[in-house]
Amino acid sequence: DGGITQSPKYLFRKEGQNVTLSCEQNLNHDAMYWYRQDPGQGLRLIYYSQIVNDFQKGDIAEGYSVSREKKESFPLTVTSAQKNPTAFYLCATSRVLAGELFFGEGSRLTVL
């Protein structure tokens, strides 16, 4: 089945620890994105990547890092520098940059 797989679905971490969220796609889409959802704030763009080995900061990139070593994979690391990491994180892909987005099921990160 073609799709976007995010893991883990739920993650609990202690304050000060880095965590990495996985996003894998088999849609053969070039562009991949990470969004964050907070109540009452909609979806905000963290990072996006148009092509392998290239990525750009979104609107709220501080405290996050990404890599794009393979077309299929775009992992997001939430570092200890991120002040409010507890949120619902969504990975998305599109055939080309600025195209229609397809979303994964999301990962809920809770920092204790």
Partner 1 sequence: DQQVKQNSPSLSVQEGRISILNCDYTNSMFDYFLWYKKYPAEGPTFLISISSIKDKNEDGRFTVFLNKSAKHLSLHIVPSQPGDSAVYFCAASAINAGGTSYGKLTFGQGTILTVHP
Bridge partners for 21 per DSSP: 76
User: Closest distance between partner 1 and the C-beta of residue 19, in Å?
Assistant: 19
Q: Which stretch binds partner 1 (CB under 8 A): 14-22, 70-78, 79-87, 89-97?
A: 89-97
User: Residue 43 and residue 101: Cα distance in Å, rounded?
Assistant: 13
Residues that bind partner 1 (rule: CB under 8 A) add up to a total of: 28
Does 110 participate in binding partner 1 (rule CB under 8 A)?
Answer: no
Which candidate, 1, 10, 3, 33, places its Cα nearest to that of 86?
Answer: 10
Does 41 participate in binding partner 1 (rule CB under 8 A)?
Answer: yes
72 sits in the region (left: phi over 0; alpha: psi -120 to 50; else beta) called: alpha
User: Closest distance between partner 1 and the C-beta of residue 92, in Å?
Assistant: 7
Does 98 participate in binding partner 1 (rule CB under 8 A)?
Answer: yes
For the window 47-86, what string marks contact with partner 1 as x by the rule CB under 8 A? -x-x-----x-xx---------------------------
Contacts of 42 (CB under 8 A, 6+ apart): none
User: Residue 46 and residue 92: Cα distance in Å, rounded?
Assistant: 11
Looking from the CA of 19 toward its CB, the CA atoms found within 13 Å total 22
Q: Residues interacting with partner 1, by CB under 8 A?
A: 4, 31, 33, 35, 40-45, 48, 50, 56, 58-59, 88, 90, 92, 97-98, 100-106, 108
